[in-house]
Amino acid sequence: MKCVALLTIQLSLLVLFLQSACIAAIVRSGTMHRSEVWRHQDSPVRVEGELRIPKGVSLTIEPGVVVEFYGSSKSPASIIVSGELRAIGSPTKPILIRGLNEEQWRNGLAVGITVTKTANPSDERATKGTAFKHCVFRHLQRPLSAEAPVYVGYCWFEDVGVNDALKFAVTIHAGVIECSRIRRCGNGALMLGEHAVARYCLIEDGEMDAVGGDAYLEHCTIRNFKRFALSAIGRSFTLFYCLIKGCGTFAALPNDEGSFPSITIEDVTIADMGGKHGWGAIHIRGKAAKHERVVRIHTRGGCNRIISPVLISDAVGGHEVIAHQIWWGTSTPDISDENLFRGNESKFDIFPVTAAEPYMQRMSHEGAVVDSDGNVVPDAMVWVHDSRTSPSSTDEHGVFRVDGSVPGVYTLHAYHPWIGHGFSTADWAFAGEVCRTMGFAKRKQQPLVISLPGKLSDARAKR
C-alpha cells in the first residue's frame, strides 16, 4: 500500500510538472544581461511584468515561438527594447505574440513591445537591426510602439488596442510597415512619424480613427472606422494609390492642434463616407486657431475620386474649400446642391476631371485563394504589386476582388499566417466593355487561383 501511495504521489508530481512545463517553458522578466535566442522548443515563453533589453544586448525569436504577456496591476507586462530585438518568423511558422488571455488585454495588464530611440535601427529589408517579420500580435493594448527605425512586414495585428481613449495600437516613428494587417484595433489603428512609410497595408474595423501623425501611405486600404480615416491627431497626410471606404469621414478639420493639416492624394478612391452621421467626405468641424479660412486638398494626377452621400460639409461656414482634379461621382457636380455641398456662405472651388478620366477604364482582379489541399482560404489578405491598387481580403468562400487596375501583367500575392504566402501572375485585357479577370499559365487562360503552401487546419488550430 505504501508503494502504491508513493507511486500515486510521484505520478501527481509528474503531472503537475508537465502542466507547469506546458504553461511556460521559459519565464522572463527584469533586465536581460546577455543576448538570448528563444527557440521553438522553448515555447511558450512567458513575459511576466516588464522585460528590458538594454543597449548592447540582443534578443532573437525564431519561427513558431509563442510569446505570452502576463502582467499585474503593479507591473503590466511589456518588453522595452533599447538594444536589439529580431522577431523573424516564416509564412507557415509565424511568431505569435499575445496577451495570456483576453482579460489581461482588457484590463491593461498585457501591453506590448516598446522600441526606444537607442535601439539598433533596421534597414528596409530587415537584414539587420530591430525587425518584425511574419508575426501575429493579439490581445495586447499597445502591441508595437517604435521610436527607432524598425522594419515591420507580413505582420497581423488583431484584437488589439484600447477602447476607452484615442490611443493608437501601432506607432512607427521611423522605418517601414508593409504587407501587414491591422484590424479590430480599438479606438486607433496606426500612428506614423514623418520618417515612416506604410505600404500594402490593410487597416480596418476600428471604433474611432484609422491613421494619425505625419502619415505617408502607399497602396493601403482603410475601411470601416466609425470616426475619421485621417485622425485629428495629425499634421500631414500623403496618400498614393489608396482606398478609403466606409468610415465616418475621410478628413475632419481642423486637427486637435487647431490647424488645417496638409493633405495630398494621388490615385485615391474615397467611398461611402458619413453613413448615418452625414458628416461628408471632407468635413470642417470647427474654426482654426489661426483663423485660417482656406482649406486646400492637394491632388496629383487625374485619378482621384470621391463617391459619398455628402461630399463636403462646413459646419462653421464661411470657408473656401479648394479641391481640384477629383472625380466627384460625376463629371459635373452641382456645388449649389446642399445635399452634396453643405456650408453657410462657404465657397467650394472645385475643378472636376472630365468624363474620359482613367477611372472609367479601370478593371478589377478577381480570383480565389486555396491551401495546399485545395481548400478555399477565407480571410486571406490579397494585394497586387506594381499596380494602382490597394489590398483586399477573401470572403468566406475564399474569393477576392481587388479594384482599380488598368490592363497589364501583374503579380498577385496572398498571405494568411500559418497557411503561408503565395503568388500568381495574371494578364488582364479588355474584350470590348468586358474585362477578362483570368490568369495565364503555360499560355493557357484559366481561372485565377493563388495557392498557399500550408493547410487551413493549421491556422484554425492556432486561433
CATH number for the domain spanning 367: value is: 2.60.40.1120
Single-letter code of the amino acid located at 335: I
CB 173 within 8 A of CB 152: no
CB 279 within 8 A of CB 249: yes
Domain boundary among 334, 360, 386: 360
Quickly state the pLDDT bin for 463 (edges 50, 70, 90).
Answer: confident
| pLDDT over 70 percentage in the chain | 88
Segment 134-158 mean pLDDT: 98
Instruction: Please return the burial class of 13, using the count of CB atoms within 10 Å of its CB with bins 0-12, 13-18 and 19+.
Output: exposed
Residues 443 and 342 in one domain: no
CB 202 within 8 A of CB 185: no
Single-letter code of the amino acid located at 299: T
Rounded to the nearest integer, the mean pLDDT of the chain is 88
- Count of domains for the chain: 3
pLDDT tens digit sequence for 84-132: 999 999 999 999 999 999 999 999 999 999 999 999 999 988 999 999 9
**Residue 215: inside a domain:** no
pLDDT above 80 (res 404): no
Domain boundary among 310, 336, 360: 360
332/67: higher pLDDT: 67
Q: Which of 202, 196, 146 is nearest to 170 (CA)?
A: 146
Residues 183 and 45 in one domain: yes
pLDDT tens digit sequence for 224-246: 999 999 999 999 999 999 999 99
Residues with Cβ within 8 Å of 353's Cβ and at least 6 positions away in sequence, in order, are: 302, 304, 325, 326, 327, 331
Segment 248-261 mean pLDDT: 94
Residues 63 and 109 in one domain: yes
Segment 377-402 mean pLDDT: 93
254/461: higher pLDDT: 254
The range of the structural domain enclosing residue 41 comes to: 27-207
pLDDT above 50 (res 6): no
**Residue 4: inside a domain:** no
Residues 193 and 48 in one domain: yes
Residues 94 and 131 in one domain: yes
pLDDT tens digit sequence for 207-224: 999 999 999 999 999 999
CB 26 within 8 A of CB 3: no
- Angle (nearest 5°) at CA 235 between 217 and 324: 70
pLDDT above 90 (res 439): no
Residues 261 and 197 in one domain: no
Residues 323 and 366 in one domain: no
Q: How many angstroms separate the CA atoms of 392 and 164, rounded?
A: 29
Residues 54 and 174 in one domain: yes
**Residue 7: inside a domain:** no
pLDDT given at position 239: 98
Residue the block writes with cell 477602447: 163
Q: How many angstroms separate the CA atoms of 361 and 275, rounded?
A: 28
pLDDT given at position 124: 87
Quickly state the pLDDT bin for 380 (edges 50, 70, 90).
Answer: very high
Quickly state the pLDDT bin for 15 (edges 50, 70, 90).
Answer: very low
**Residue 47: inside a domain:** yes
Residues with Cβ within 8 Å of 229's Cβ and at least 6 positions away in sequence, in order, are: 209, 210, 211, 222, 244, 247, 249, 250, 251, 270, 273
pLDDT given at position 21: 41
Residues 48 and 180 in one domain: yes
Residues 307 and 158 in one domain: no
Residues 129 and 64 in one domain: yes
This prediction has a pTM of 0.91
Q: Which of 212, 176, 157, 209 is nearest to 381 (CA)?
A: 157
Residues 43 and 131 in one domain: yes
